[in-house]
Amino acid sequence: MASSAMISLASPSPSLSLKDKLKPKLKLGASVNQTSLFFKDSVKTKLFTRTTMAVAADVSRFENITMAPPDPILGVSEAFRADTHEMKLNLGVGAYRTEDLQPYVLNVVKKAENLMLERGENKEYLPIEGLAAFNKVTAELLFGAENSVILQHRVATVQGLSGTGSLRLAAALIERYFPGAKVIISSPTWGNHKNIFNDARVPWSEYRYYDPNTVGLDFDGMIADVKAAPEGSFVLLHGCAHNPTGIDPTPEQWKIIADVIQEKKHIPFFDVAYQGFASGSLDEDASSVRLFADRGMEILVAQSYSKNLGLYAERIGAINVVCSTADTAARVKSQLKRLARPMYSNPPVHGARIVSNVVGNPELFREWKEEMELMAGRIKSVRQKLYDSLCAKDKSGKDWSFILQQIGMFSFTGLNKAQSENMTNKWHVYMTKDGRISLAGLSSAKCEYLADAIVDSYHNVS
């Protein structure tokens, strides 16, 4: 038995790998490369076949997805960050900056956040429609607390993911309950409007708005196109501080627009992103929306607090639907919640609590209005200085007064694509290719530099 055991132990192991079996055949002192070559020559062809097939099977299922183009607005900031020129200016993204061109957190926002910490508020899920206190104050801020639409409970308000998310929720409502209805939007408009309606599969077309000859409002063209739209269309309107042009209708023109929309049985759809930030007055900037509501019209209004409270990253806003009765508003709200549930389930709480604390507290509300006036005032100040600098540097006699007639964060310079590219390539001024600049990214100290860039681009680039 001892002999048998010894024989068994001396037997070669059946578990040796192919490479181990080949080792005795290798020459002593062979290099790593020689070993590899010997091993490759010794392997059967079918092993190579199997290896090739395995590689082919690993080709990505996403191979046909192409690279998306950079966002025309957010891509500007990426290019700006890569530039090292000392005079560079980022006038692309609409985000408020101080005179030192630094991001600004409102003092009243800090106070509201301190209140939240003192109360020890939790991070539980909000209901689908959002924070009740937020929905209450945001509708009252928009329409006025004593407005009949508020007192009669005719507004369906649902907290949304800032202005973009609120618009997207409204677009989903249109697609589901107004199949085939068209949205008509201004030409030009905020770049994301078309994306939102495209992704929601809501058809859209444009109405005339900007007149390049006057760098002003093409009011006659706008009215003609609204009249020509199919009855029952949704007319997308900028409540104040039109983006990108900064050109708003006058109060008298707003009344005519309301007349035509009523006559054609259209549904007004407002995008309100700058209430209080445009003129410095919350009531003045909401006057267009209130005009339509006071006429008893059913309207949609998307709101954002990114600009007026500086809550860009909090993604806080709302969609409001003004209905003819309280019962209708309740049903509309139920369907907005139904649409939101599979889209994002429920909204974030932090920004909602900031808004409800600021708007719902008389002392903080007063402080907020003062800070908004300061921010709006800084924008007006650099707008005036830019105009003065343009007039001083341009001896051609060109009328630059449209700069002063525009309102809000943006100014449409009238520069074409080639001229806008010259602004970036030669002068390191980053802006969108349609000629829009954000005055929020401009300081008084750089107004003359910007004026030099605009005058050069306007006169020397065709």
Identity of the amino acid at 459? H
Query: What's 65's DSSP letter?
Result: P
Rounded to a whole number, what is the largest CA-CA distance in the chain?
A: 117
Residues 6+ apart with CB under 8 A from 362: none
Residue 298 tokens, joined: 């059913």
Distance CA 435, CA 402 (A): 14
307 included as an active-site residue: yes
Classify domain 74-104+369-460 at the CATH topology level. Aspartate Aminotransferase, domain 1 (3.90.1150)
User: What φ, ψ does residue 339 adopt, rounded to 5°?
Assistant: -75, -35
- C-alpha separations of 180 from 64, 165, 235, 278, 281 in Å: 31, 22, 14, 35, 38
Distance CA 181, CA 355 (A): 34
Q: CATH 3.40.640.10 occupies which residues in the chain?
A: 126-360
Amino acid 365: pLDDT: 97
Per annotation, catalytic residue among 190, 204, 368, 427: 190
Per annotation, catalytic residue among 218, 225, 271, 285: 271
Q: CATH 3.90.1150.10 occupies which residues in the chain?
A: 74-104+369-460
Amino acid 56: pLDDT: 54
Dihedral angle over CA of 113, 115, 117, 120, nearest 10? -130
Residues 6+ apart with CB under 8 A from 400: 387, 390, 391, 394
Identity of the amino acid at 352? A
Burial bucket for residue 62 (CB in 10 Å: 0-12, 13-18, 19+): exposed
Identity of the amino acid at 21? K
Per annotation, catalytic residue among 182, 204, 307, 446: 307
DSSP-assigned letters across all residues of 11-36 = SPPTT--HHHHHGGGSPTT--HHHHH
Amino acid 255: pLDDT: 98
Classify domain 126-360 at the CATH topology level. Aspartate Aminotransferase; domain 2 (3.40.640)
Contact 377/280 with Cβ under 8 angstroms? yes
**Enclosing H/E stretch for 395:** none
211 included as an active-site residue: no
Amino acid 74: pLDDT: 73
Residue 345 tokens, joined: 């389930």
Q: Which of 318, 10, 374, 4 is nearest to 167 (CA)?
A: 318
Question: Cα(first)–Cα(last) distance of the chain, in Å?
Answer: 103
271 included as an active-site residue: yes
Q: Which is it for the CA torsion 361, 367, 373, 378, positive or negative?
A: negative
Contact 45/57 with Cβ under 8 angstroms? no
Place of tokens 């700069």: 403
Helices (H), 144-302: 148-151, 162-177, 191-199, 219-228, 251-263, 282-285, 287-294
Amino acid 72: pLDDT: 75
Output Rg (C-alpha) for the chain, integer angstroms.
31
Amino acid 77: pLDDT: 82
Amino acid 25: pLDDT: 45
Ranges under pLDDT 50 in the chain:
1-49, 51
Residue 92 tokens, joined: 């692309």
